[in-house]
Structure 1
Amino acid sequence: MTVGEQRRGAPLPSGPSTVHVVVEDPGAHHARAVAAGATVVGELIDQDDGSCEYAAADPAGDVRSSGTHRPG
């Protein structure tokens, strides 16, 4: 889990916390999530630091982002 500021292009709702799951291949992870019926709320985006991520809501409406993590 990582903690930090909301990143550009990440349309996440405001809240006390967010969860970011680090995955090796965000493109494949995104495709599997979409195929499984995930509600994508932030499409895949390449960040300035070289990481790539997207955000999806679970059936309860909780938003989680998934992507690579490139510590600066």
Structure 2
Amino acid sequence: MGDNPIFHRVPDHPILNLEVAQRALARHRDCGDDCAARRYFLALVPALSQGQRPVDGRDSVGDSDGSRWAR
């Protein structure tokens, strides 16, 4: 499964469950910095554990491009 390039893509749906995010991060622990999924879960796990908004930066009131949360 780890050899499939799709395995290393960022999920196409928001992950809002800390336990699921932690398991996914553990599956990518041996991946390099070029793994998009690893980078996504590295940022997501601390955010979920602190109760912050999801990494993708979108909110539920129509901010679909995430520009309001751009850094």
Band of TM-score, shorter chain: under 0.3
Q: TM-score normalised to the size of structure 2? A: 0.25
Higher helix share: 2
TM-score normalized by the length of structure 1: 0.25
Bigger radius of gyration among the two: 2
| Structure with the largest fraction of strand | 1
